[in-house]
């Protein structure tokens, strides 16, 4: 090693030792006849000292060192007179006797500090410098730890990590596949997996019993703010289980992670049905760090001549505790917020519960104080609370709008701390979703999800009412994982493809191998997948998954650092028998 | 759980317990009034018993169960009268009281036994059934353990596992890249990484200090017997180190794996230079489970009128201990072996050292007994040994042939046991290889490998003589890992690209980001990568890496189970602005 110690290692007990350190120049400051350099590596920062009087030549050399120069120094550990309690090595410094520049550095285009002066674009272009920043590297250290602890837990539970192929077959259903032209089979393509779903099910057919994999998956989607074309899943599957076993196993895993990584002991996760999640939060991934549940107000507010409500299919309210003092301006801002095209509400009705218990609403001319008192009671509101009401001609749409309002109020009232973790399971998802545009059903989870046995009969009569043995793990309003009990019967799987509008030929071409496998003794099985990127972001308190990915892509799917994607040689195209249309 | 125990779990101590088991019917045999079923899962096999007299209905049901049916049974654990010492549950059996068929099974196309009647093709087509075989599943269990122990070791040594991107930029140098057309950037392509080489070096520039990743890599090569288009590397890199540190660290890792997985304590790995490996074994990955080193015989055998030797640039021999009794027929077979086009030797000279010490050779008419005695002495041969000699007009070619002969003799004499592990480091590889065909130098390792500092001056005068700080770990004649100290100086890297025939523009286009990164303070660094597939194969004693891969591809790069690659929809092609040439 070119060093005897790291820059995070030396303490008072080491005073007097001759040590060799390596690292980067974080700071270089001259004070009187002394030069101080902060030498940085992954492990910490150590202060180096050069004295003009004792060794003028060495000190001069030190003065010429720029930021981010790479050094190897040898010197004696000394106690610092002016101790720095903020860093672990703050009690000592090194009186340098030998200084070697291992590599020079141009001045970086932005400062290598937690609070940097570099904007997003330049930091992405020079990501290798951005990654030098403590706050960015910490996220990747956390990611390493979380992946390692995940493996440790699953290994202890008897899971085997099995690698499934990356070059597979294109079976687009939902998102688009990335495809890979085959040179040896010209005109044919591999696809990159959107998930190892079918392979993990085949491993269950093989009797692997407990499988997992931390694995890259790929989706060629138009990228929204927080999506990446390649992302990482903790993918798991178990045999001879029921839904309850999966929930227990992975609730256990989440608890293990919170304990091992954050030292937090979580209590058992509440469970809520999809129907209740929509009813109380208008959201299948409710943020339960705060209450503010929806209260349905059709009985309370309909039929008093306020046409907006009278014509509504849904009227719902939330009670913002202690927010009665909201000004007109604040409420107008909320109204603007929910009227934005992304949310699309038509308006907001509010009712303040004043200090004396009177209720004052924006629709006083339609409602008597008596009715408003009933509203107050129904909302379980107390003096000083603010009731916010949204209605709509379509229940699901109005609930979605009210959900956005609820989350915004959570933000405004400081109820969504990143240091609080509220976990739950959402269960009993519908099996199918009807799509008006294409006039067909889509699988809400995926085509391999099993209907609840008691609902199978409904598949023929009322498919929309069929519930699935599907579940999502939600933490702080983020869906960190989800899964289902799978179909393990060849005939039921075939029927499912029919309902989803596959022709028998298409189903056979795309998934024949799976339906065939089910004929040779498939065990009951199920599983789930966590989004590792999201899980790490949540643990790190990040706003974007991008910050926990070493080399992320931008919203156009580009890696601006290496400049990919890019043109390829004509030779390469010819070998693949491809041409690009102009 | 649908079971209370696994099929590998119950012992004599459990007798009397009421248990529920699940699994597959391995065997079903009727003996007198009894029916015995072997129920299998990943964990073992348990015998189920049904008695015609006690419960005729249940017994009839059991008789109808075919192989690979999936069962759930409940019954009482009983001591077996006829114990089976070969299986862990062989002392007990289950007197079944409840039998539920969880899924039926068609008769599988081959037997699910270690010694199966299924050929390669059918086993690959039904890989999910092949994976049910104990011997196949064991390989994947081993793979899981090895990956887990690798992570444990590296984590303890302070390495961080960092995921690098899979969608990168095409920079073919050596093997072909697989490419991925971009829909959002039409006409442009991503490439799949042949290794995360440049990214791990950038992580060193970022100060990550110790990085690893167990990661899929991709090469679009014409597949030889034991290559896969996608393969897995244990990829590692360290900063502020010298070659010695890398060798120590990863020798430690290999020792840890051998200890943890196989209970084998390895002694320190010998080191041999590339030059010596070629001189003594004609091979840069010598199998050192046995000696039989090359002895150079130019001085001994040249100039006696045997024109083949007189005209040779190289004459070398090996001494096969105790093989003097080889018959003429056996020696003819050896001669045929080395004359095969893949090896291409012109002939084989042999000399038997007989029991009385006399040497009898195939070229007696050219060599007196005196010379042959000198040969015997030179070869360090004893009575009863067989000396085999190959010569050639080109040293490297003749050495390669002699190497093949040596390995074959090792096989024939039983010196290459799969239960013996001989590890070594090959060091001091040449930096460059001259290619006659394209009349240019290629990097022997890759373009980022550092020349030895003392050889840098030779880059201008005699590039072929420059040695690299590169090293391979070889076990039993298999290169399981290799790496190098990297260039960390922008100027030297530029020069290296020049020597390799890159135009400045090309170097800048392909690797500008790396050379640029080196300008901002790159630390000295180096690393290596293990081939996980090869390492697992070696531990498992497999002849092909395919057997330790869950879903391998065949020699045409096809997955015959899912039938990939395959045609894709025209819609997909149009979105990518691609057309396939007919």
DSSP states along B221-242 = ----TT--SEEEEEEEEEES--
A38: its two tokens: 């902060």
Residue A43 contacts B, CB cutoff 8 Å: yes
A36 pLDDT more than 70: yes
Q: Do B144 and A160 touch (CB under 8 A)?
A: yes
Residue B227, pLDDT score:
86
Name the nearest CA neighbour of B255 among B160, B157, B136: B157
C-alpha A177/C-alpha A181 separation (Å) is 12
Percent pLDDT > 70 in chain A is 99
pLDDT in tens, B275-317: 999 999 999 999 999 999 999 999 999 999 999 999 999 999 9
C-alpha B141/C-alpha B135 separation (Å) is 10
| Sign of the C-alpha dihedral computed for residues B381, B383, B386 and B389 taken in this order | positive
Q: E strands, B413-546, where?
A: 423-427, 432-435, 440-443, 470-475, 478-485, 525-531
Residue B173 DSSP label: B
Residue A436, pLDDT score:
85
Q: Do A562 and B169 touch (CB under 8 A)?
A: yes
Measured between beta carbons, the chain B residues lying within 8 angstroms of A165 are 230, 550-551, 553, 559
Q: Which of A3, A9, A167 to mutate: most B Cβ within 10 Å?
A: A167
Return the biggest CA–CA distance within chain B. Answer: 93
Residue B225, pLDDT score:
67
B318: β partners: B388
Measured between beta carbons, the chain A residues lying within 8 angstroms of B189 are 565-568
B296: its two tokens: 């150079």
Q: Across residues A194-217, what is the average pLDDT?
A: 97
Grade residue B504 by pLDDT with cuts at 50, 70 and 90: very high
Phi, psi of B168, deg, nearest 5: -125, -150
Q: Which of B40, B146, B189, B572 to mutate: most A Cβ within 10 Å?
A: B189
Name the nearest CA neighbour of B524 among A100, A293, A475, A208: A100
Q: Which of A508-517, B17-26, B255-264, B407-416 has the lowest mean pLDDT?
A: A508-517
Residue B519 contacts A, CB cutoff 8 Å: yes
Residue A434 contacts B, CB cutoff 8 Å: no
pLDDT in tens, A223-258: 776 789 999 999 999 999 999 999 999 999 999 999
Residue B34 DSSP label: E
The answer to whether B200 and B164 have CB atoms below 8 angstroms apart is yes
Contacts of A291 (CB under 8 A, 6+ apart): none
pLDDT in tens, B153-204: 999 999 999 999 999 998 866 789 999 999 999 999 999 999 999 999 999 9
Name the nearest CA neighbour of A10 among A45, A38, A34, A49: A45
Q: Which of B181, B224, B487 to mutate: most A Cβ within 10 Å?
A: B181
Phi, psi of A203, deg, nearest 5: -65, -30
Grade residue B212 by pLDDT with cuts at 50, 70 and 90: very high
B-contacting residues in A 330-359 (Cβ below 8 Å): none
Which residue from A1, A126, A568 is facing B179, i.e. has the nearest CB? Answer: A568
Residue B241, pLDDT score:
98
Task: Name the minimum distance, in Å, from the CA of B224 to any CA of chain A.
Answer: 13
Coil, strand, or helix at residue B266? coil
Instruction: Count Cβ atoms within 10 A of the Cβ of residue A579 and give its class: 0-12 exposed, 13-18 middle, 19 or more buried.
Output: middle
Residue A177, pLDDT score:
94
**Domains in chain A with CATH codes:** 12-103 (2.40.50.140), 136-271+422-549 (3.30.930.10), 290-412 (3.30.1360.30)
Residue A233, pLDDT score:
98
Q: Could you tell me how many CB contacts below 8 A there are between chain A and chain B?
A: 346
Residue B438, pLDDT score:
86
| Sign of the C-alpha dihedral computed for residues B372, B377, B380 and B381 taken in this order | positive
Name the nearest CA neighbour of B565 among B580, B548, B545, B550: B580
pLDDT in tens, A297-334: 999 999 999 999 999 999 999 999 999 999 999 999 99
Q: Across residues A126-155, what is the average pLDDT?
A: 97
Residue A151 contacts B, CB cutoff 8 Å: yes
SS3 string, A174-217, reads: CECCCEEECCCCCCCEEECCCCCHHHHHHHHHCCCCEEEEEEEE
Q: Do B128 and A205 touch (CB under 8 A)?
A: yes
Residue A142 contacts B, CB cutoff 8 Å: no
Residue B69, pLDDT score:
98
Coil, strand, or helix at residue B299? helix
Residue A576 contacts B, CB cutoff 8 Å: yes
Percent pLDDT > 70 in chain B is 99
The ipTM is 0.95
Edge-first strand order for the sheet with B386-392 is B295-296, B314-320, B386-392, B349-353, B359-361
Q: Across residues A88-95, what is the average pLDDT?
A: 97
Residue B578 contacts A, CB cutoff 8 Å: yes
Q: Do B190 and A488 touch (CB under 8 A)?
A: no
- What is the distance, to the nearest Å, from the Cα of residue B144 to the centroid of all Cα atoms in its chain? 16
**pTM exceeding the 0.90 threshold for the entire prediction:** yes
A564 pLDDT more than 90: yes
C-alpha B214/C-alpha B150 separation (Å) is 9
Task: Give the number of other CB atoms < 10 A from CB of residue A76.
Answer: 16
Measured between beta carbons, the chain A residues lying within 8 angstroms of B558 are 185
Residue B391: its H or E element: strand B386-392
Contacts of A336 (CB under 8 A, 6+ apart): none
Residue A173, pLDDT score:
66
Coil, strand, or helix at residue B45? strand
Phi, psi of B268, deg, nearest 5: -60, 145
Residue A187 contacts B, CB cutoff 8 Å: yes
Residue B479 DSSP label: E
Name the nearest CA neighbour of B176 among A152, A568, A472, A330: A568
Q: Quick one: closest CA in A to B182, which residue?
A: A565
C-alpha B372/C-alpha B381 separation (Å) is 11
Coil, strand, or helix at residue A521? coil
Measured between beta carbons, the chain A residues lying within 8 angstroms of B521 are 24, 68-70, 103-105
Which residue from A132, A148, A185 is facing B565, i.e. has the nearest CB? Answer: A185
Residue B314 contacts A, CB cutoff 8 Å: no
Grade residue A20 by pLDDT with cuts at 50, 70 and 90: very high
Q: Do A182 and B105 touch (CB under 8 A)?
A: no
Measured between beta carbons, the chain A residues lying within 8 angstroms of B129 are 206, 520
Residue A432: its H or E element: strand A432-435
Name the nearest CA neighbour of A204 among A529, A495, A453, A520: A520
Q: Do A162 and B144 touch (CB under 8 A)?
A: yes
A-contacting residues in B 205-264 (Cβ below 8 Å): 205-209, 216, 218, 220, 222-223, 229-230, 232, 240-242, 245
B512 pLDDT more than 70: yes
Q: Across residues B487-508, what is the average pLDDT?
A: 91
Q: Do A230 and B172 touch (CB under 8 A)?
A: no
Q: Across residues B529-537, what is the average pLDDT?
A: 97
Residue with tokens 């107050």: A376
Name the nearest CA neighbour of B526 among B239, B278, B211, B328: B239
Give me the DSSP letters along A259-296: IIII-----PPPEEEHHHHHHHHSSSS--TTS----EE
A21: its two tokens: 């350190």
| CA–CA distances in Å: residue A425 to residues A245, A263, A276, A533, B453 | 13, 22, 12, 19, 60
Contacts of B291 (CB under 8 A, 6+ apart): none
Measured between beta carbons, the chain A residues lying within 8 angstroms of B103 are 488-489, 518, 521-524
Task: Name the minimum distance, in Å, from the CA of B538 to any CA of chain A.
Answer: 18
Residue A66 contacts B, CB cutoff 8 Å: no
C-alpha A161/C-alpha B151 separation (Å) is 13
Q: Which of A177, A509, A565, A574 to mutate: most B Cβ within 10 Å?
A: A565
Measured between beta carbons, the chain B residues lying within 8 angstroms of A519 are 105-106
Task: Name the minimum distance, in Å, from the CA of A98 to any CA of chain B.
Answer: 17
Task: Name the minimum distance, in Å, from the CA of A205 to any CA of chain B.
Answer: 7
Q: Do B167 and A565 touch (CB under 8 A)?
A: yes
Measured between beta carbons, the chain B residues lying within 8 angstroms of A184 are 222-223, 556-557
C-alpha A21/C-alpha A41 separation (Å) is 10
Measured between beta carbons, the chain A residues lying within 8 angstroms of B577 are 580-581
Q: Quick one: closest CA in B to A191, which residue?
A: B565
Grade residue B581 by pLDDT with cuts at 50, 70 and 90: confident
pLDDT in tens, A400-430: 999 999 999 999 999 999 999 999 999 999 9
Q: Do B222 and A184 touch (CB under 8 A)?
A: yes
Measured between beta carbons, the chain B residues lying within 8 angstroms of A178 are 167, 180, 190
Residue B173, pLDDT score:
66
Grade residue A171 by pLDDT with cuts at 50, 70 and 90: confident
């Amino acid at each position: 090693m070119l060093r005897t110690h790291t820059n995070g290692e030396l303490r008072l007990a080491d005073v007097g030792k001759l040590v060799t350190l390596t690292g980067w120049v974080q700071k270089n400051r001259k004070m009187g006849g002394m030069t101080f350099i902060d030498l940085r590596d992954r492990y910490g920062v150590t202060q180096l000292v050069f004295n003009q009087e004792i060794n003028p030549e060495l000190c001069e050399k030190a003065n010429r060192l720029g930021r981010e120069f790479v050094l190897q120094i040898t010197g004696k550990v000394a106690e610092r007179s002016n101790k720095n309690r903020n860093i672990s090595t703050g009690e000592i410094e090194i009186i340098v006797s030998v200084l070697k520049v291992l590599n020079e550095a141009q001045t970086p285009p932005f400062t290598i500090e937690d609070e940097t002066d570099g904007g997003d674009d330049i930091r992405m272009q020079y990501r290798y410098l951005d990654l030098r920043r403590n706050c960015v590297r910490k996220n990747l250290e956390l990611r390493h730890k979380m992946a390692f602890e995940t493996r440790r837990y699953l290994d202890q539970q008897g899971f085997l990590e099995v690698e499934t192929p990356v070059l597979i077959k294109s079976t687009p259903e939902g998102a688009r596949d990335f495809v890979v032209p085959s040179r040896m089979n010209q005109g044919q393509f591999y696809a990159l997996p959107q998930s190892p779903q079918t392979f993990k099910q085949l491993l269950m057919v093989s009797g692997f019993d407990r499988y997992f994999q931390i694995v890259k998956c790929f989706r060629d989607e138009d990228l929204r703010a927080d999506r990446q074309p390649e992302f990482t899943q903790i993918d798991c599957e178990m045999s001879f289980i029921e839904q309850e076993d999966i929930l227990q196993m992975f609730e256990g895993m989440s608890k293990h992670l919170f304990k091992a990584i954050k030292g937090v002991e979580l209590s058992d996760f509440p469970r809520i049905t999809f129907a209740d999640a929509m009813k109380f939060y208008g959201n299948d991934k409710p943020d339960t760090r705060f209450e503010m549940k929806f209260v349905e107000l059709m009985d309370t507010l309909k039929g008093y001549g306020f046409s907006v409500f009278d014509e509504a299919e849904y009227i719902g309210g939330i009670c913002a505790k202690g927010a009665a003092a909201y000004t007109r301006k604040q409420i107008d801002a909320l109204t603007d917020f929910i009227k934005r095209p992304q949310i699309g509400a038509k308006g907001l009705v509010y009712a303040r519960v004043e200090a004396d218990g009177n209720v004052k609403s924006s629709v006083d001319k339609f409602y008597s104080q008596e009715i408003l008192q009933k509203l107050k009671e129904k909302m379980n509101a107390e003096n000083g609370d603010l009731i916010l009401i949204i209605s709509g001609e379509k229940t699901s749409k109005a609930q979605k709008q009210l959900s956005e309002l609820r989350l915004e109020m959570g933000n405004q009232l400081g109820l969504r701390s990143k240091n609080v973790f509220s976990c739950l399971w959402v269960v009993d998802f519908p099996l199918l979703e009807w799509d008006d545009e294409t006039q067909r059903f889509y699988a809400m989870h995926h085509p391999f999800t099993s209907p609840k046995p008691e609902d199978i009969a409904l598949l023929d009569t009322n498919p929309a009412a069929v519930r699935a043995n599907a579940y999502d793990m939600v933490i702080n309003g983020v869906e960190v994982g989800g899964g289902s009990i799978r179909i393990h019967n060849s005939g039921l799987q075939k029927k499912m493809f029919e309902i989803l509008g596959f022709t028998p030929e298409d189903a056979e071409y795309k998934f024949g191998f799976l339906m065939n496998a089910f004929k040779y003794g498939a065990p009951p099985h199920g599983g789930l997948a966590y989004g590792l990127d999201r899980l790490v972001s949540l643990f790190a308190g990040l706003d974007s998954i991008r910050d926990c990915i070493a080399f992320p892509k931008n919203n156009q799917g580009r890696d601006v650092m290496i400049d990919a994607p890019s043109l390829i040689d004509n030779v390469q195209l010819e070998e693949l028998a491809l041409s690009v249309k102009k």
